[in-house]
Chains A and B, each alone.
Chain A
């Protein structure tokens, strides 16, 4: 009898003990970020497990509940390289400049800025009385510290070269001599940057999330860990993080210390960190979130025409890389034939369900020319490079090119392999390519590779043809055209063309806007004539948004701006 009791107790202890130990502290990162965070939107903290707290913990306040991606890997501005992390940073930090609803640069922490005549010195004048979310003063020195930090090898910021590569002393700074970086703060409200060569789009860098100011005090005290807990995540943007339950949600509460706090109508934004599109969709249907970024692709046919379903372009292109170092892709005619055989309208509108747009150029809509107009409108004399509406003629042209290359009707053409990871529409595109290239008499094998192995494989050139894609970081065309520069780390097709490189070199150094524009267009001309890569479709963002949300917008960089949003009752 006694033994039986012990047995039962042990069995119970096994289960209950482990269950109970979970009850102690599930919300370890739940403290308000500021002392002055006594706004109506201040989230309730502490252990909410098992209590009757409503999903959005604020009472009476206006909380916008949205889904824009899973748990971000990092929301440290210097470390982030992902769009979902960038979206959080956008709401919690503010750079010197910002991008407004029209996609134009606008004053941010800097009220005004000027560029010296030689284009090498950029001076930013900060607003008066800027504050961190903890109430302490933010000065130009904070920018000096933050920009130097991006170069710190111990921080190893992935975007350091992109955003600061053109700043004087960058090479020394990235080696560890941070003081060498050409940034200075002559006084508390002036921040000066010295460039090593003129950079007409440096304003976009000043608005780039990587270069957000971060507070030295909290970074020094907490190391890399400063950006993982709500109470040490000191920021300067319209919202601060009041609560972060990893993989569950991030609660961003209105920052009363933000200079433009009066314009912020929401009390809080709850970013639900949902990973699965079906879970997002259920939450949206149940009304638990008013906005979801991850819509299940199988629901899209039923959503077209629904006013809550949005499709909006972002700057980026889905393209194929052909390994130009391997036969038969060494021949530009072969590359172009393969490109022309693709029915882009069918791929984008049918296979990809209209969530992509057919790509006639490499540089799609949203890239801005040096005079502020659409780069695409000025490309190839205003004509598309590939007439996507006339597929039949393209196939004929492709067959002709293949014959010229010595493979009439595909005879003698080796069986080629197309490598891709399995996500989104990658597999259906691969299957389509098999069919499309078969029309040229070409045999295609599809090789599905796991994501983490796929990237290094493609980078090392261990493939014949592969899926590729790029979404722009800023709207200057060089951001994407640089990909095909012979020595670029993302030049997966190993495209190597001296003329192309020369055109890109000119675009980098010239101060003359017209000359620069001409060089960039020339580069795209060469790329398309040589078939340096095969553009297939332009990226769009597509999402579901309740009509209750007003005053928000989506940018061509793939960000959603909720800060000035409101909820209509």
Chain B
């Protein structure tokens, strides 16, 4: 296992480097720059800004400088939000997104897994149909529609939930619900199909033939095997969800990281583009390693090499 982890870490570093390099050159190939606005600034001011942030140097030189300082943990200053470092933006905004996203993942798991199991056990019955319809809707309806509908009814019409910010527990209800919709539905479907698959296996029949109690069959034999696809899905999903959703954050005025990804690209905030991309890439990789380890624990037959 230790050997496996070391191997994965080395691989992770190479992957992150590749992601960073690709992003760096791609973003520099796109026209535009961070210091442009409708009103042109004077050529001196433009030159001074470029000199200040080292943008006057050739691209390859800038790439080397960036990689060197990033390797030392310095991700530079934001070019648009002057006075803030990329690190300070991420450390300030990520916790907010992580809190909302983490809660929604928790909600998705606690709802999605049991509902998926119930649907599988009641296959073909009314319960199964109802759950399947709900799941299909959850996957098909985009989150901004859910946000807007909720906002209209609970925020404006009934006035029972606050429409913006994250000051109290009540503020979390709408954004977390909106964010949970899709993953809950997806987990439900994953769980249902893999549960159905497992329930048809020979060892399930054996377990029943042995006269084991229904609950024990379900939890010890069925669930454990059926949950593997969900684990696979949840790892990267968690990484994406806790880094924030642009749409949900914008609608509910949540100061999270999701908006920074988009705004950085639209504003050509090069350092922030790099910082957020590397951050997300790292999270996804870490999640994948954790998923692999959980795999090994859930199913000891799997060998980590």
Contacts and interface: CB of A to CB of B under 8 A. Distances in A.
B202 interface: no
B145 interface: no
B206 interface: no
B95 A288 contact: no
Contacts of B43: 489
A160 B46 CA distance: 11
Given A10-B297, A26-B99, 18 more contacts: A11-B109, A15-B238, A23-B99, A48-B167, A54-B167, A55-B165, A73-B80, A81-B39, A156-B49, A158-B37, A160-B44, A160-B45, A247-B255, A275-B253, A278-B148, A286-B156, A489-B41, A490-B39
Given A22-B99, A156-B52, A225 B83 contact: yes
B81 A74 contact: yes
Contacts of A214: none
A22 B242 CA distance: 10
A290 to B, nearest CB: 14
Contacts of A138: none
Contact of B169 (A50, A223, A452): A50
Interface string A52-77: 11110000000000000001011010
A451 interface: yes
Interface of B: 30-33, 35-45, 48-49, 51-52, 77, 80-84, 92-99, 101-103, 105-106, 109, 148, 151-152, 155-156, 159, 162-169, 224, 231, 234, 238, 242, 249-256, 259, 266-268, 287, 290, 293-294, 297-298, 300
B165 A248 contact: yes
Given A7-B294, A73-B80, A73-B81, A286 B48 contact: no
Contacts, number: 214
Interface stretch (A195-203, A438-446, A455-463, A511-519): A455-463
Interface in A1-30: 3-4, 6-7, 10-11, 14-16, 18-19, 21-26, 28
Contacts of B99: 19, 22-23, 26, 49
A19 B102 contact: yes
A457 B30 CA distance: 12
9 contacts: A10-B290, A19-B99, A81-B41, A160-B44, A224-B77, A227-B82, A275-B250, A275-B259, A282-B164
A273 interface: yes
Given A50-B169, A53-B168, A489 B40 contact: yes
Interface string A326-348: 00000000000000000000000
B92 A28 contact: yes
A106 interface: no
A452 B43 CA distance: 18
A302 interface: no
A14 B52 CA distance: 41
Nearest to A49: B166
A16 B159 CA distance: 31
A51 interface: yes
Contact of B266 (A19, A50, A74, A452): A452
A490 B40 contact: yes
Nearest to B231: A11
A312 interface: no
B267 A452 contact: yes
A285 interface: yes
Contacts of A249: 165
B163 A18 contact: no
A179 B120 CA distance: 79
B51 to A, nearest CB: 7
Contacts of A489: 40-43
A3 B95 contact: no
Given A52-B168, A53-B167, A245 B77 contact: no
Interface of A: 3-4, 6-7, 10-11, 14-16, 18-19, 21-26, 28, 48-55, 71, 73-74, 76, 79, 81-82, 153-154, 156-161, 174, 223-228, 245-249, 272-276, 278-279, 282-283, 285-288, 450-453, 455-457, 459, 469-470, 489-490
Nearest to A275: B250
A424 to B, nearest CB: 12
Contacts of B255: 71, 245-248, 273
B44 A161 contact: yes
Contacts of B33: 452, 456
A247 B89 CA distance: 11
Given A19-B102, A247-B255, A459-B40, A158 B45 contact: yes
A7 B297 contact: yes
Contacts of B95: 21-26
Contacts of A228: 81, 83-84
A470 B39 CA distance: 8
B82 A74 contact: yes
A247 B294 contact: no
A233 to B, nearest CB: 10
B45 to A, nearest CB: 5
B224 A11 contact: no
* Pairs A-B, 3 closest by C-beta atoms: A19-B102, A22-B95, A452-B32
Contact of B156 (A10, A225, A282, A456): A282
Given A4-B224, A456-B32, A457-B31, A282 B163 contact: yes
A225 B83 CA distance: 4
B102 A15 contact: yes
Contact of A274 (B81, B93, B152, B253): B253
Q: Which of B38, B168, B238 has its CB near the most chain A CB atoms (within 10 A)?
A: B38
A31 to B, nearest CB: 15
A73 B78 CA distance: 10
A50 B165 CA distance: 12
Q: Which of B94, B95, B231, B294 has its CB near the most chain A CB atoms (within 10 A)?
A: B95
B253 A18 contact: no
